[in-house]
Structure formats: C-alpha cells, structure tokens
A and B are shown apart, each in its own frame.
Chain A
Amino acid sequence: MSKRGIVLYLHVHQPYRVRKYSVFDTSSRHDYYNESSFDTDRNNEKVFRKVADKSYRPMNVLLEKLLANHPEFKVSLSITGTFIEQAEAWAPDVIESFKRLVATGRVEIVAETYYHSLAFFYSRQEFERQVDAHRVKIRELFGVETNVFRNTELSYNDDLAKWADDYGFKGILAEGWDPILEWRSPNHVYRPVNTKNIRLLMKNYRLSDDIAFRFSNRDWSQWPLSADTFSDWANASIDQQQIIDLFMDYETFGEHQWQDTGIFNFFEAFVSKWLDNPDNTFYTVSGAIDAFEPVGEISMPYTVTWADTERDLTAWLGNSMQQETLRYIYALENDIMMTGDLELISDWRKLQTSDHVYYMCTKWFSDGDVHAYFSPYDSPYDAFLYVMNVIRDLRWRLHSYHHIGGLNG
C-alpha cells in the first residue's frame, strides 16, 4: 500500500503589464508592454528583477537543497510562457535553476495555457493553440512532457475536465471547494464526471491558505505559525486518508510572504518534520494519480476557481469593463490569425493574460477589501482605458493587413 503524502504544486507566473498607453499613442506606437519609467510597477523588467531576487532565486535554492537532502521530497510546478519569456530576457540564471530542478526527476511540470489566459471560456480553438504552445515550450526548455493540466486561476468545470480527458491528460487540478465536496474530503484522488481516464486532484484550501495567505497575518490567532504546528495539522488532516494537495502561487515564498516573515525557514523545517514520520512522503501530481485509485466522482457544472471567498471568476469577469475587454479581444481572433504576423499575434495573446482584466476589478469597492488586490494602476478605470487603447491599436495594425473592416470605433 502506498504511503500517504503531500502533493505540493506551485504556480509560477508573471504577466506583461500594459504601460500608460494613451489615445495619443494609439496607432502611433505599438510598444504596449514597454513602460519606459523604471519607477513604476508597470515596468515589467523592474518587477521581474525584484521578484527574481526576493522569490525565484532564494526559493529555487531552497528547493534544490530540499531535493538534495530529502530523497522523498517532490514538487510540481506550472510555469507560464509569459514568465519564461521574461526570465529568458532578464534572469536567464533563474531558467537554469529551474532546469536543474527538473533534471532531478522529482520535479514535474504541469501544463496550462502559455499566456495564462481565460481563452477556454471564449475560444476553444485559441485555447488549444495556447496549451499546445506551452507544451512545446516546456519540451524545448526542459526536455519533458506534461501530463497533468491546470487552467488559469485554477478555473475548472465539467466541460474542461471532458476536454482535458479527450486531449489525453492523465490528471487535472481544481479547488477543493466545500459546496462541491459536501461531506467528502479533498484528501483523495477523484474522477471527474463523464470522463474516461482522467483523474482530479483537489486543493486542500485550508492548509494551503494557512501558508499562502495567513502565514504572516499578525491578526491571525495562530500567528506565528511554526513548522511543528503545521505538521500536526497536516498529520491530523490526512489521518486515514491519502494525500494533501497544497496548491499555491510560487511567489508565496519571498514575494507574497517576505523572507523576514520566516517563510523559507518555516517551509524547510516543515518538510523535514513531515518526513520524520515514516508513514509520510511527497508526491508529484502524476505520482499521486499513479499511487491511488479514485474514491469517487466529482461534478462541477459551474466554473469554480481558487479566488476569493466566492471561488468564481468575478474578479476577472465581474464587471462590464472586464466583459467588454474580453469580448473585444476575442472578436479579433480570426483577423489576427489570418495575418500570420508573429509579432502581432504575440502582442494580441499577451493581452489575453488574465491579469489585465483582474486589474479592472471593482468588486472590492463593495467588499472594502482593497488590499487583497494588487494593481500597478491608479484605478481599475485607468487599467481599462489603457487596455482599450491597445485593442484599438491592434485594430489599427490589422487594418494595414486587411485594408478594410479592421477599425471599429
């Protein structure tokens, strides 16, 4: 019988943020993602270099150390195409350290859309092209195949599971949300409804969020969280069960939770503590699927994500500005693809990254929960205006290809 284990999965992503792109730039300059000022978090190079120092470099060092010291330690990573392109440009050593991790054979790469987009909900064709592009990029860079899929923001529904099954993935990831699980535990492998071979892993959000969100919160009754305490919780949670799916942003380590919160030391101590128990181990996402049979069937007719208390897409699609933006973007698909212009296609795809509409989210105005949302723009409305102007400029560039019909207000 297989040991019980933690399935640690970290999501690595950086978007190409749009600069202050005005009406006066529209149809004159096409450098949407190239903020010239270095004093703002719209400057992608600045942000990337900062996060590389705070998170990517120290965390990869820690992961390498854990892999060296603990033969049972394993981790799964999803790394977006927009991250890889920026790392290649500004921190090639970070790419090299990821390669060393993958070369150990105990680090699995998870599949997703290259551009961290919501394309699944707008264009199946474009969605598949981005999944394919990501698989190719991962193959080129790391020499490995991806077998398990996660969609942007962990968004998931039955249709997606069906698609991933038909595509040939052996596993897919989703939020272990109580209204879906009801009396069931997330600590097992499941089978999505109406599928043949694919397996479903569901995030244990309580334990995941203890690290990802609550770790440095001094108002939290459990602060400061020690490795011993967390290990006790994990051992209690997994009692008589199989796996604990700890899913979170990679940037939790060093960026969301700064080094001075003790996050790195905590994590190193926890891995050691967890493995002190001979019944415990770690699994990659594929490893967990191979080790355990599904205990039941899960259906999610409506889309569930890992975001906010609502666990839905309202942070990305909740207001009319966000809906309009994505409607305009995907309306361009055929005309853009017809050009065969790789630069134009790439600029259009970078605009599909979900972060852009996230910056337009206004729902915290009612929540009063402003600080939960980070944005490099003065307001959601500014973010919207810049993206609208980019859309107009894309139309302008299309117009020069097709000579008619490209412009539209």
Chain B
Amino acid sequence: MLGWELPPHNSGGLGVACYHMSKALALKGAKIDFVVPYTAAHPGIDFMKIHSATVLSPLERYGLGAYDSSKVIEKPLSKADMNDLKDMRGVQKRYIKFVEQLVKRNKPDVIHAHDWLTMEAGIRAKELTNAPLVVHVHATEFDRSGSNSGNPLVHEIEYQGLIMADRIVAVSNITKNIIVEKYGIPADKVEVVHNAIDVSSFDDGYQYDYSTYKYLEALKNEGYTIVTTVTRFTIQKGLANFVRGAALACQKYDKLVFLLAGDGEQRDELIALASSLGISDKVFFTGFVRGKQWRDAYSVGDVFVMSSVSEPFGLTALEAAHHGNALVISKQSGVGEVLHSIFRYDFWDENMLADQLIGIATSQALKNSLQRDVMYEYDRISWHDVADKLMQIYNSTKQGVK
C-alpha cells in the first residue's frame, strides 16, 4: 500500500483513513507493506509492515505542503533532483525509487495507491511487476483548489494514475462524478467505498472538560446555541459562505454563536469578513487545535456545519456526530451520502444555511432528534465493511475481469 502519512504523523483525514482501512484489511488476512515518505515510529501499528522511503522527519515532510498543491513546483520527474529532499518532487522521486526496489524484492499481489502523491509510484510498480493497480481517490486537485483551476502538473498526474489504474476507488459519489466527468474515466471502472468511523478509537477514557471553552458553556447556560466547525481554513472549505450565512441567521435569531476551530490561509479574510458583517463577537477563532482542545471543540458544540465547496468525504462530520452534534452538511460533501438524519444545503445557499441553523436553534425537539438519530447511522458504517469491499475489488482485479 502506497500512502503519504499514518497517525500520529498525519495532518488530515488521509492518514486516519489509511490506518483504519489497513487495520481492517489485515484482520481479513491481507498482508500489507505500507510505504510512507518519512522516517518515524508508529506506536501501535503491528498489523502491517511500515517502510520509510526517505530519512525525512514527518515535520519536514509536512513542510513540503502536500495538501497545498500550489506549493508544488511544476517539475516533471526527469527534472526533479532525488537528492533534494526539500523539494516535493525530489521526495516523490526518491519515494518512487524506493518502491521500485521494494517491489523487485517482494512482488505484490496488488498495488493500492492513495491520491496523486503516490500515483506515479503506483504506476511504476505496476510496470515493474505487472501486478494490478488500485488507485484510491480521497481528494482530487479539483477539490483542493476549490475550482476548475489548480495545479496542471497535479491534474496530469491524477489523469495518468486514473488511466493506468486497473480499478479506481472513490470515497464518495461526489468524487466518482469528478473522476468520470472531469477526467473522462468510464463510470464502471470506479467503485464508491465510503469511509467509516472507528468509534472505538474514541473510547479512550476521554471526558469532556467544561472549563476548556468556559465562556461558550456560559453562553449555553444563557440559552445560546453553539455552531461549530473544525477544519482547515482554505477555499475548499467554503467558510466565507458559512460566515455570511451565520450573519444572516443572526439577523433573525440572536442567540447563536459560531466556533471556528482551526487555522489556515483564509483566516485573516474570515476575521475581516465577520467584522464587516458586524458579528465579530459571535464568531470565535481558536487557532490550530489538537488533543483536548480539539475533542472539546466538538463536545461544546450543538450543531456542526460542514460548509465545503467540494469535500470528497469529510470524516470530521462523523467525529462531530459522535460528540453529540446535529449535522448541517453541504451537498458538495460526500459524507452526506451515507447519512439521513442531517440537514443538507448547497454550499453557496447562505439563506438555506441560515434557515436550517435557526430551525435547529429554536426547536429543542428538532435538535435532539438530529443529534440522537445520526448516531445510529454513523455507527452502522464500519471499516470491516470497507475492508470487505476492498477485498472484493482486489480479487476482481486478480481475475482480470476489468
């Protein structure tokens, strides 16, 4: 399996998904060699073998900006310097060389590559071993850039990866549609396998600490409804629409406040936007949160909004539901496909968002129903089901059906 990160060295949902997926696959009997582009310890991962393709630390690897493709210089691999580990393309070239050596020694039955970061390595491994290639798409460049633009080199790599793949796994129908419509891939080559949430990973003795967000708790006692989002502040996340929707909601119903947990390039713009809309005191910026402050951000909330312009899946919504939030999810977020007891809206429809927020805030019955019912839904989605589907896909490729 070719990945870019694993917990605890992950910066986002990709690492979490890879971890749970691999663990569930191992339980089904899969023997996994997992390649990461850095060197670090992974405590608790004993169900597969982790290979380090470079000597970089996880932090140095993160500095390459894997999730900000605008930082990736347009450089074909032939021009990349494998010894330049400060350059994203150099690291990818080294990663590919490592994978070449690995698959020569140890021929895989199937190659499973995650996102554009590892697609070139996947293609190369397939060329060398003739093993089938499964490309797993967690996000495309169209999602990351929040538009039709984006980095042309990354688009090209994604296109080649999708063409060369024997089977493609998309994390949602939204992602599948992008693969089919934007990259012209036949729909029957793409299988949708939604991510799951591992509820047991939250059973770690966590207790909500009321003093972390003491001021917000005081507001709750005053009858305020806390609307949260926990995310990176990038264009992809649709937060400007969210803040404008928040302002519209406040015009009609005053007892709302908004907790924006996270950080990112759009932060200053959002702060200025909130103040120009006259709701600065209703919008709370925490900065980057992790650990207790991160968990407690979910816990203090009543309603969780996922406002993404384009979200292939959106694991954080399931985490928020687990911590007792009612969910309001943009129709452009894949996680909404697997849940029913939620509100959905088009990311640009600020009036609709405001309506839904006021509706939840002013009806205890509605709020309680949403919070309770969604818990039964995400609980039914398990990584074992994901592993079963992946095993079927692996087997189908081995038989050469597609």
Residues of A within 8 A of B (CB): 22-24, 26-28, 319-321, 323-325, 328, 362, 379, 381, 384-385, 388, 391-393, 396, 399, 407-409
Contacts and interface: CB of A to CB of B under 8 A. Distances in A.
B215 A396 contact: yes
B271 A407 contact: no
A22 B287 CA distance: 9
Interface in B111-129: none
A393 B271 contact: no
Most chain B beta carbons < 10 A, residue from A23, A321, A379, A388: A23
A399 B286 contact: no
Given A23-B215, A23-B286, A409-B219, A388 B268 contact: no
Contacts of B160: none
A385 B285 contact: yes
Contacts of B215: 23, 26-27, 392-393, 396, 407
Given A324-B278, A385-B285, A391-B281, A23 B213 contact: yes
A321 B293 contact: no
Contacts of B57: none
Nearest to B257: A409
Contacts of B268: 379, 381
Contacts of B293: 24
B163 to A, nearest CB: 44
Nearest to B282: A409
Contacts of A320: 272, 275-276, 278
A385 B286 CA distance: 9
Interface string B270-292: 01100110111110111100000
Contacts of B282: 409
B229 to A, nearest CB: 14
A23 B285 contact: yes
B149 interface: no
Contacts of A385: 271, 285
A321 B275 contact: yes
B275 A409 contact: no
A26 B276 contact: no
Contacts of B280: 321, 324-325, 328, 384, 388
Given A24-B293, A392-B215, A399-B218, A409 B281 contact: yes
A27 B272 contact: no
**Closest 6 pairs between A and B when the two form their complex, measured CB to CB:** A409-B282, A27-B215, A320-B275, A321-B275, A26-B215, A320-B276
Interface in B193-241: 211-215, 218-219, 222, 224
A27 B214 contact: yes
Contacts of A384: 271, 275, 280
Contacts of B271: 321, 381, 384-385
B267 interface: yes
A396 B218 contact: yes
A384 B269 CA distance: 13
B272 A381 contact: yes
B361 to A, nearest CB: 13
A407 B213 contact: no
Contact of B281 (A22, A23, A27, A392): A392
A408 B281 contact: yes
Nearest to B222: A407
A304 to B, nearest CB: 26
A343 to B, nearest CB: 19
B272 A321 contact: yes
Interface in B55-70: none
Contact of A28 (B214, B267, B281): B214
Contacts of B286: 22-24
10 contacts: A23-B213, A23-B215, A24-B212, A24-B293, A28-B214, A320-B272, A320-B276, A321-B272, A399-B218, A409-B257
Nearest to B281: A409
The listed residue with most A CB atoms (<10 A of its CB), out of B271, B276, B282, B293, is B271
Contact of B219 (A319, A321, A381, A407): A407
A407 B276 contact: no
B119 to A, nearest CB: 37
Given A22-B286, A324-B278, A407-B222, A319 B214 contact: no
Nearest to A387: B280
Which interface residue of B211, B214, B278, B286 has the most chain A CB atoms within 10 A?
Answer: B214
Contacts of A391: 281
A320 B280 CA distance: 10
Nearest to A360: B275
Interface centre among B213, B222, B282 (most CB of A within 10 A): B222
A384 B222 CA distance: 25
Contacts of A24: 212-213, 286, 293
A393 B281 CA distance: 11
A396 B280 CA distance: 16
A321 B211 CA distance: 28
A262 B300 CA distance: 58
Interface string B243-277: 00000000000000100000000011001100110
Nearest to B277: A320
A323 B280 CA distance: 11
Nearest to A28: B214
Given A321-B271, A324-B280, A385-B271, A407 B285 contact: no
Nearest to A405: B222
A27 B275 contact: no
Contacts of B267: 381
Contact of B218 (A27, A319, A328): A27
Contacts of B212: 24
Contacts of B281: 324, 328, 388, 391-392, 408-409
Given A384-B275, A384-B280, A399-B218, 8 more contacts: A24-B293, A320-B276, A381-B267, A381-B271, A381-B272, A408-B281, A409-B224, A409-B281
A22 B288 CA distance: 12
A385 B222 CA distance: 23
A172 to B, nearest CB: 33
A67 to B, nearest CB: 48
B221 to A, nearest CB: 9
Nearest to A388: B280
A296 B281 CA distance: 48
A26 to B, nearest CB: 4
Contacts of B278: 320, 324
Contact of A23 (B211, B272, B284): B284
Contact of A319 (B213, B222, B272, B284): B272
A362 to B, nearest CB: 8
A24 B292 CA distance: 12
A20 B148 CA distance: 39
A408 B257 CA distance: 9
A259 to B, nearest CB: 37
Contacts of B287: 22
A26 B211 CA distance: 10
Contacts of A393: 215
B275 A324 contact: yes
A115 to B, nearest CB: 22
